[in-house]
Amino acid sequence: MTPTLAPSSRVQLTDDGKLRHFLTTEHLPRSLLEDILDTAASFVDVGGRAIKKVPLLRGKTVVNLFFESSTRTRSTFELAAQRLSADVLNLDIAKSATSKGETLLDTLRNLEAMAADMFVVRHQDSGAPFFIANEVTPSVAVINAGDGRHAHPTQAMLDMYTIRHYKGGFAGLKVAIVGDILHSRVARSQVHALNILGAEEVRLIGPKTLLPVDAEALGATVFTDMAQGLKDVDVVIMLRLQKERMDSALLPSEGEFFRLYGLNNDKLHFAKDDAIVMHPGPINRGVEIASEVADGPRSVILNQVTFGIAVRMAVMSMAISGQDSDSNALAASTESMEGAGGARGQR
Amino acid sequence: MSWDEQQLQTHLDAMAAAINERFADKSPLLVGIESGGVWVAQALNDRLPTALPLGSLNPAFYRDDFDTRGLKPTVTPSKLPFDVDGQHILLVDDVLMTGRTIRAAMNELFDFGRPASISLVVLFDIGHRQLPIRADICGETLALPPHQRVELRGPSPLIAEIRNLVVEDDTETRS
């Protein structure tokens, strides 16, 4: 019931402010992001049990709809759904129906007809998950698993979880994000989440060709020099350098990028002594990060993966729970208006 | 109607005595259900001749009403600091009503391992059972009308009182 919500948030939330779809961290209320982190905290322990499963989403069907290939994100979403006891269907769309000429909407209608409860969507085009969220039948929740250069909200939230786990909170924190910011949906979602959660300063470090022009509007400070940018930061987030960037002449060479922006122990000295090093993976050793740092005592890269499963469990159960309450309400209201035949969201 | 610390102590003393009498030779483990059950388990432990290993369960992810009631934003994680395989478990809750919380808690316990036995210890049994579950040790049995519940407040001091439900026909409130 927040009248000032941006359109992106309106489609994500139910009328009473619960998560319904998870498409972007932008414009979400701080309390909701904190709820995601708190709920994830209670799922972390499930991974350490004899039986790594809770029956919360038993009987629900989660469809992984990956229009762009991904191994890590897809498999952690799959594992998260399985640990919630949901049934999981993996669709590698790049190799399936759409390549035979079926339209996206027809694919969606077919999956709805299979009584899916959730779509986890990865798409090369920015905004595709929003389009799908607006088109799906009201009983289906949509989770954005990365769209174009736009957003990757579950990655950002698992990073927020990792930061909160090691730093206790966000107040007073200086966080640096390093590398190819311009093409990074992860960075964009991280900047929004860090600002909403109250981090003191968000810095973006990279060569001018790989920095966004609207960084200040995003709520971040820009640096092109590692020594200045990393000074006194609490958290260093390295981004993967995509090799395609070299081909498009945005960078001279991998070697030069590593010399200027690659994180080694010498450059890490500029950060605070207790600074942690994060990376969304997969890492390119010797391109954006040196092995001495990636495998070093301040690296929390593998812990991010573990927390990622718990955070995805939290987002999935919250969205399905919000979706249920919303479609129940909708079904009730359409029922009273049009009789039982009008209740499309009810199954 | 309400119970002050003193009156609850009488119940807790009797319950601790019953545990000692019936389970002393089995070296059982205490498992409280969040949050009231954990307070009761702690209070019982303070009264036993030797304190038992104590864990806590939060069966929120095992409830059968997720579709209608959704997920609470903060769920205190379950903590069982011991192996439950082959052990005698004393499952402790504050109030037993429908039995659905106990069913959820037992399902969760079995995901940690295979206990030798589970016995149920509750401070109050207020009837209205919907499942074939009964308490092995009970502080006080009450016959309450459907709109009334016993609410325990704590952890220190422990106080209980009868409250009228605000929402009508919600038969699924905890326990």
Start-end ranges of CATH 3.40.50.1370 in chain A? 7-151+307-342, 153-304
Q: Is residue B16 part of a domain?
A: yes
In a domain, B78, yes or no: no
Our count of domains for chain B comes to: 1
Give backbone dihedrals phi and psi of A178, rounded to 5 degrees, phi first: -120, 135
∠ CA A169-A173-A177, rounded to 5°: 115
Q: Is residue B172 part of a domain?
A: no
Query: In degrees rounded to 5, what are phi and psi of residue B91?
Result: -85, 125
Mean pLDDT of all residues in B30-34: 95
Helix (H, G, I), strand (E, B), or coil: what is residue A342?
helix
Q: What is the pLDDT of residues B84-130, one digit of tens each?
A: 999 999 999 999 999 999 999 999 999 999 999 999 999 999 999 99
**Which CATH class for the A153-304 domain?**
alpha beta
Query: Of B61, B74, B77, which has the smallest distance from its Cβ to A56's Cβ?
Result: B61
Q: What CATH number is attached to the domain comprising B107?
A: 3.40.50.2020
Prediction pTM value = 0.84
Lowest mean pLDDT among A182-186, B65-69, B103-107, B169-173: B169-173
Half-sphere exposure of A78 (CA within 13 A, CB side): 13
Quick check: B62 and A35 CB within 8 A?
A: no
Q: How many other CB atoms sit within 10 Å of the CB of residue A30?
A: 13
**Strand boundaries in A280-344, DSSP class E:** none
Looking at CA atoms only, how far is residue B3 from chain A in angstroms? Answer: 33
Structural domain of residue B145, as residue ranges?
2-64+85-164
Q: A85 touching B, CB under 8 A?
A: no
- Is B112 close to A317, i.e. CB distance below 8 A? no
Rounded Cα–Cα distance for residues B153 and B156 (Å): 8
Look at B71 and A51 and tell me if their CB atoms are within 8 Å.
no
| Res B174 pLDDT > 80 | no
Q: How high is the pLDDT of residue A142?
A: 97
Q: Which ipTM score applies to this complex? A: 0.72
Q: Please check whether residue B11 lies inside any domain of the structure.
A: yes
Whether A49 contacts chain B with CB within 8 A: yes
Six-digit token string for A197: 């959660």
Indicate whether B72 belongs to any domain.
no
Note whether residue B24 is domain-resident.
yes
| Longest alpha-carbon distance in chain A | 70
Share of chain B above pLDDT 90, in %: 70
Fold of A7-151+307-342: Rossmann fold (3.40.50)
Inter-chain contact B112–A51, Cβ cutoff 8 Å?
Answer: yes
Residue B71 lies in a domain: no
Whether B12 is in a domain gets the answer yes
Cβ of B66 within 8 Å of Cβ of A321? The answer is yes
Tokens of A134: 């607006």
pLDDT tier, A347 (very low <50, low <70, confident <90, very high otherwise): very low
- The letter for the amino acid at A109 is R
How many CB atoms lie under 10 A from the CB of residue A270?
A: 18
Residues in a beta bridge with B89: B29, B118
